């Protein structure tokens, strides 16, 4: 039956290839959307790891997470340096990373922080930040900068280049701090996280450009010491790592009820889960669109098979004349649909892996999506099987009509 179906399709190469291509595109879109969804969710969760608490001024957990980790949006309030000192002294705090946001450079966010950021910040499966060029800055530096990989690549910046940051974020700059330029000292290796899209400067330098530290010849030594102790008045967020992980819940409550000023402490893992849950509607919408494209491809196959039935009535009569029964005719149409669907699904999967294999770097550079050409997951195999099953079920319609025609026509063809 399969050989007969292959021979029949060979006589209709053009329509067969168009049907295969339609199913391939449908399969490519369906599996591609599923892979983007799952791997984006995985990369989303891997943006930050090893951090037990994120602390900021009183705000929502999603806003605090987006602004401090993803550099999306802006914080309406800030926490004082005194609150940061209070956080350092909490029992169980092993390390702390202060972060001051609100400035930008060519639409990329500027993060004022300390050398602790490069020492303790982790992403993925507890991966530490690595430098591809240069070195990190020290806490008492005032003119050094470390660039994320995407910032350096897109703006074509290298070690030793000079840059001027501006006040304001999100691509809107209200004033340039051109009186105090920064020199690129290091460039981070790519991480496929928002860390690639930021520029990092020492808090002492940020305090200097904001006028929180006055640097002149008469008071240079005094202000240098002051910069080391309190380089800025306020911070946007503080990342905390604990020596004892079970302390996180107790410390979260203690920080949220701190009487010095209103603070919010969140656990990144829970906040990421909550944030992804809010995106569930868009995830379902993407899946619905891909499912409709699959349905369109399968309906195209059904239309092709139905349109060819009238032209193939003579073929069916010849098959009847050599002993083929109505059930053989029925099986022939189903076999053809099966072969078309298998070929289309195989072609769609092949195109998907070609795109992932040869275009992963381009996707990472231009879209920020890290997609890997890993073997198909169980869910993806189920989707591919569902496409095949739907194609076989739809083929029953033209197969039944061919069966009815074969019974009615016998050896007599109505022209």
Shared domain for 196 and 80, answered yes or no, is yes
Residue 274 lies in a domain: no
Domain end position, chosen among 242, 266, 290: 266
Residue 244 lies in a domain: yes
Residue 372's pLDDT is: 73
Contact residues for 20 (Cβ-Cβ < 8 A; gap 6+): 340, 343, 344, 347
358 burial (CB, 10 Å; 0-12 / 13-18 / 19+) is exposed
Provide the sign of the torsion angle of the four alpha carbons 247, 250, 253, 259, taken in this order. Answer: negative
How many other C-beta atoms are found inside a 10 Å radius of the C-beta of residue 143? 17
pTM for this prediction: 0.69
Angle at 172 between CA 160 and CA 57, to 5 degrees: 95
Residue 219's pLDDT is: 41
- Which token pair is 33? 């959307």
How many other C-beta atoms are found inside a 10 Å radius of the C-beta of residue 352? 22
DSSP 261: S
127 burial (CB, 10 Å; 0-12 / 13-18 / 19+) is middle
Residue 414 lies in a domain: no
Residue 273 lies in a domain: no
According to DSSP, the residues that pair with 175 across neighbouring strands are: 167
Question: Which helix (H) or strand (E) covers residue 315, if one does?
Answer: helix 313-321
Residue 108 lies in a domain: yes
Domain end position, chosen among 208, 235, 266: 266
Residue 322's pLDDT is: 64
Shared domain for 259 and 348, answered yes or no, is no
Shared domain for 32 and 63, answered yes or no, is no
Q: State how far the alpha carbon of 357 is from the alpha carbons of 321, 354, 373, in Å.
A: 51, 5, 6
- CB-side exposure of 117: number of CA atoms within 13 Å? 28
DSSP 194: G
Shared domain for 242 and 288, answered yes or no, is no
Residue 252's pLDDT is: 93
Helices (H), 138-261: 149-155, 203-209, 220-229, 247-256
Per-residue pLDDT of the chain (415 residues; tens, 9 = 90+): 666 666 666 667 777 888 888 888 888 888 888 888 777 777 777 788 889 999 999 988 888 988 888 888 777 788 999 999 999 999 999 999 999 998 888 888 999 999 999 999 998 888 899 999 999 999 888 889 999 998 998 899 999 999 988 876 554 445 555 678 899 999 999 887 889 889 999 999 888 887 765 444 334 444 444 444 678 889 999 999 998 888 899 999 999 999 989 999 999 888 888 877 777 777 788 788 888 888 888 888 778 777 776 666 666 666 666 666 666 777 777 888 888 889 989 999 999 888 888 876 676 666 556 677 778 888 889 988 988 888 888 888 877 777 666 555 544 545 4
Shared domain for 186 and 241, answered yes or no, is yes
Nearest to 197 by CA among 316, 388, 365: 365
Angle at 285 between CA 282 and CA 288, to 5 degrees: 155
Count of residues in the chain:
415
Domain end position, chosen among 205, 235, 266: 266
SS3 17: helix
Number of domains, the chain: 2
Kind of pairing, strands 237-242 and 182-188? unpaired
Asked if residue 385 lies in contact with residue 21, where contact means CB atoms within 8 angstroms, the answer is no
Shared domain for 329 and 348, answered yes or no, is yes
> What is the extent of the structural domain holding 90?
53-266
Shared domain for 290 and 260, answered yes or no, is no
Shared domain for 35 and 57, answered yes or no, is no
Residue 377's pLDDT is: 85
Asked if residue 392 lies in contact with residue 53, where contact means CB atoms within 8 angstroms, the answer is no
**CA 198/CA 154 separation, integer angstroms:** 12
Helix then strand then coil, in percent of the chain rounded to 5, is 55, 15, 30
Shared domain for 251 and 284, answered yes or no, is no
Nearest to 356 by CA among 370, 373, 381: 373
Shared domain for 111 and 181, answered yes or no, is yes
Residue 415 lies in a domain: no
Residue 133 lies in a domain: yes
What is the SS3 string spanning 337-393?
HHHHHHHHHHHHHHHHHHHHHHHHHHHHHHHCCCCCCCCCCHHHHHHHHHHHHHHHH
Residue 351 lies in a domain: yes
Shared domain for 75 and 209, answered yes or no, is yes
Shared domain for 67 and 36, answered yes or no, is no
Contact residues for 264 (Cβ-Cβ < 8 A; gap 6+): 55, 56, 57, 58, 59, 60, 61, 64, 255, 256
Asked if residue 128 lies in contact with residue 193, where contact means CB atoms within 8 angstroms, the answer is no
């Amino acid at each position: 039956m399969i050989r007969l179906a292959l021979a029949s399709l060979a006589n209709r190469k053009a329509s067969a290839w168009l049907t295969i291509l339609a199913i391939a595109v449908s399969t490519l879109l369906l599996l591609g959307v599923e892979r983007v969804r799952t791997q984006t969710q995985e990369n989303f969760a891997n943006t930050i790891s090893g951090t037990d608490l994120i602390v900021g001024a009183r705000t929502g957990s999603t806003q605090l997470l987006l602004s401090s980790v993803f550099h999306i949006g802006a914080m309406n309030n800030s926490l004082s340096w005194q609150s940061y000192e209070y956080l350092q002294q909490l029992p169980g705090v092993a390390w702390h990373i202060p972060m001051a946001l609100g400035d930008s450079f060519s639409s990329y966010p500027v993060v004022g922080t300390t050398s602790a950021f490069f020492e303790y910040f982790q992403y993925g499966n507890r991966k530490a930040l690595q430098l591809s060029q240069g070195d990190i800055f020290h806490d008492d530096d005032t003119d050094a900068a470390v660039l994320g990989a995407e910032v350096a690549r897109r703006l074509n910046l290298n070690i030793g280049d000079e840059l001027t940051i501006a006040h304001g974020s999100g691509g809107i700059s209200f004033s340039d701090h051109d009186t105090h330029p920064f020199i690129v000292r290091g460039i981070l290796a790519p991480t496929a996280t928002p860390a690639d899209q930021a520029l990092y400067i020492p808090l002492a330098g940020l305090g200097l450009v904001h006028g929180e530290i006055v640097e002149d010849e008469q008071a240079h030594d005094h202000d240098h010491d002051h910069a080391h102790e309190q380089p800025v008045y306020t911070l946007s967020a503080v990342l905390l790592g604990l020596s004892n992980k079970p302390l996180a819940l107790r410390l979260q409550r203690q920080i949220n009820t701190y009487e010095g000023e209103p603070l919010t402490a969140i656990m990144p893992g829970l906040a990421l889960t909550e944030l992804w849950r809010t995106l569930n509607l868009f995830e379902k919408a993407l899946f619905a669109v891909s499912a409709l494209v699959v349905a369109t491809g399968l309906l195209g196959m059904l239309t092709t098979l139905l349109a060819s039935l009238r032209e193939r009535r003579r073929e069916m009569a010849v098959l009847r004349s050599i002993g083929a029964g109505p059930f053989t005719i029925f099986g022939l149409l189903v076999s053809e649909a099966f072969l078309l669907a298998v070929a289309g699904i195989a072609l769609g999967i092949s195109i998907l892996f070609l795109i992932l294999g040869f275009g992963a770097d381009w996707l990472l550079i231009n879209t920020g999506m890290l997609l890997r050409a890993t073997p198909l997951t169980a869910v993806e195999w189920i989707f591919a099987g569902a496409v095949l099953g739907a194609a076989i079920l739809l083929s029953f319609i033209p197969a039944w009509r061919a069966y009815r025609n074969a019974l009615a026509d016998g050896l007599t063809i109505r022209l």
